[in-house]
Amino acid sequence: MSLHVLSPRQARERQQGGAILVDVRDAHERALGTAQGARGIDRATLEADPAAYLPDREAEILLICQSGRRSQFAAEALIAKGYRHIASVDGGTQAWSLAGLPMDMPQLDDDFSERYSRHLRLPEIGLAGQKRLEAATVLVIGAGGLGSPVAYYLAAAGVGTLRIADDDVVDRSNLQRQILHTDARIGVAKVESARDTLSALNPRTRIEAIAERVTSANVEALLQGVDVVVDGADNFPVRYLLNDACVKLAKPLVYGAVHRFEGQASVFDAGRHRGVAPCYRCLFPEPPPPEAAPNCAEAGVLGVVPGIVGLLQATEVLKLLLGIGQPLTGRLLHIDALGLQFRETRLAPDPDCPVCPAGRDFPGYIDYARFCAGG
């Protein structure tokens, strides 16, 4: 039995006459629009058990995909299984739309569809994933070297709300690496500068600019309603404070650090996975002495290194929000920019950690500045 190929208009006429039109594309493709009245059954599912969806082998069935190729393969598979009246739509949904035939379209505004079109084409994201990003809130601590690329790419990706906390102002020395800011904004609060830049990039993203230093008095308010926390701080007291708060409130913490020509990135998710995932204190039970860990102002940093680490952090945030891939949980990634080498260290939860073992009560916040100063 030969395969029949119909033009979109012929297929529409047959459909109106009672033929069954089946869209064999994947769900994320169908979410962006289908030929009017088409049933959605992806090709693999249909070919595996066609009788479950099309029990009448004598019915007239029209198959449509994106451009016409997959529907032909699916039609041939159904013919081989005894279906007698099968046809493929030539040119697929693209040709159907170009012919001006009616489409069932999702209720999306043009800006959303165009802005995120490359995400919408990815089966791992699609419409459902993009909506998930739009509904998410991410806390970014620091609008500096790490916070800049993190916030830039999360806003571009369509994260709905970015809460950015930083009490500093833009300085000329920042501009070598802190790409959220410009020369014209020297002296302006970094969070205000960040809001202006990110709103210009993506007006759909809501920017909550918090011009405050993170302390044990306000950290839980900052984490309220947040899905993921990004550590873009450049000091140990804030890192330990964020870790403890994220363990207590069960928030995933995306960690990043830079020093001269090197960087680190990881995900600490012990709050949601007690006894399985480590926290920052499992890696660094106590901070190094101040002279062993100078900040960027003291030691210097190659400007692109925070960009590399920040992009890795942004990647981890998106993976966590979308539930895709394998996060850096339990792994510490080391970056050597001079050798352009990456190496990974496996991390295990510490059963003697003071904050994250399963069943351990939260010990309370401490004087982190004094703790990190060795006092």
Name the pLDDT band for 295 (thresholds 50, 70, 90). Answer: low
**What domain range includes position 92?**
4-106
Of the residues 51, 80, 106, the one at which a domain ends: 106
In a domain, 308, yes or no: yes
pLDDT value of position 294: 61
Of the residues 58, 83, 106, the one at which a domain ends: 106
pLDDT value of position 234: 82
**CA distances (Å), 90 to each of 11, 78, 206, 299, 313, in order?**
9, 17, 44, 64, 44
Q: Tokens 């993921």 identify what position?
A: 228
Rounded to an integer, what distance in angstroms lies between the CA atom of residue 264 and that of residue 268? 13
149 and 37 fall within a common domain: no
Rounded to an integer, what distance in angstroms lies between the CA atom of residue 297 and that of residue 305? 14
In a domain, 112, yes or no: no
365 and 294 fall within a common domain: yes
Exposure string (b/e) for 123-159, b if CB count within 10 Å is 16 or more?
eebbbebbbbbbebbbbbbbbbbbbbbbbbbbbebbb
pLDDT in tens, 237-264: 999 999 999 999 999 999 999 999 999 9
| Average per-residue pLDDT for the chain | 94
In a domain, 61, yes or no: yes
50 and 144 fall within a common domain: no
42 and 140 fall within a common domain: no
142 and 82 fall within a common domain: no
262-279: average pLDDT:
96
Whether pLDDT at 275 is above 60: yes
pLDDT in tens, 111-162: 998 999 999 989 899 999 999 999 999 999 999 999 999 999 999 999 999 9
- The number of domains in the chain is 2
Please give the share of the chain, as a percent, with pLDDT higher than 70: 96
174 and 283 fall within a common domain: yes
- Written as one string, the DSSP assignment of 223-236 is HTT-SEEEE--SSH
pLDDT value of position 293: 55
Q: Which of 284, 302, 304 is nearest to 292 (CA)?
A: 284
In a domain, 111, yes or no: no
Contact by Cβ (8 Å): 137, 161: yes
In a domain, 214, yes or no: yes
237 and 330 fall within a common domain: yes
88 and 199 fall within a common domain: no
What CATH number does the domain containing 332 carry?
A: 3.40.50.720
Q: Tokens 């009448």 identify what position?
A: 56
pLDDT value of position 296: 58
The contacts of residue 30 (CB under 8 Å, 6+ apart) are: 23, 40
What CATH number does the domain containing 81 carry?
A: 3.40.250.10
* pTM (predicted TM-score): 0.84
Q: Supply the DSSP symbol for 323.
A: T
pLDDT value of position 297: 60
pLDDT value of position 290: 60
